[in-house]
Copies of this chain bind each other. A is one copy, B any other.
């Protein structure tokens, strides 16, 4: 079993030093509590609601920043893997909405968000590479960010590439949700887990930032598509998952999650509308 902990934090807007401290404390506590995978929100090092490109650039970092060395040092203590979002320095003053996968040896992979939500397009350059599926000591970890989850072609493609667990750092803006219903993004995650037989861990954020309220919808979903943990009052969601179950896509002797696909009839997917 793998102990997965999501930490639903609230970053300090545009304060890299404060967020370095915040994330290191959360990662350290989680590993002390037994976490083997620690997942943090989208843009947890920077905050989300930028007022200008200059502000975004002021907190943008590269994967060789010492913050990741801190995460790596903490990860090394517990043989853990840490996945968290950050604002990444791009070429020529550009910035990416990125996520890093870090273990005791350092940064294993960086993912740049492919699907930018709404006004993110005013700040970030979209990614230009498929999401990583990283071979770690705790299984094959896929990484996407927030709005990416709403593209079932993407979650399917990550599953087809062998991910056991999909880590999804998010910042879900609070939207309408009828009483008693889960946040719609969570419902999309549940479906993605079920149809791909792949665990999914969405780590959301909390707080209100420059008037923007957040959902606080952190949810860990098993490969069977059932919710196994949501954030407690401290913003911690913890689940013990058998990630190897995702490798068996057999549903019955005559039914297989991938084998039953009929790709020759999904043609419209490759055209853009």
Contacts and interface: CB of A to CB of B under 8 A. Distances in A.
Interface of A: 114-119, 121-122, 126, 129-130, 147, 150-157, 160-161, 178, 181, 184, 187-188, 190-192, 194-195, 225-226, 251-252, 254-255, 258-263, 265-273
Contacts of A252: 118
B184 A188 contact: no
Contact of A254 (B118, B130, B153): B118
Nearest to A151: B261
A247 to B, nearest CB: 13
B150 A195 contact: yes
A152 B268 CA distance: 12
A263 B270 contact: yes
A202 to B, nearest CB: 13
| Count of this chain's copies in the oligomeric assembly | 2
B273 A160 contact: yes
A153 to B, nearest CB: 4
Nearest to A159: B268
Contacts of A194: 150, 184, 187-188
B119 A266 contact: no
Given A115-B262, A147-B255, A258-B273, 9 more contacts: A114-B262, A151-B260, A152-B195, A154-B262, A156-B266, A160-B271, A184-B194, A188-B194, A269-B269
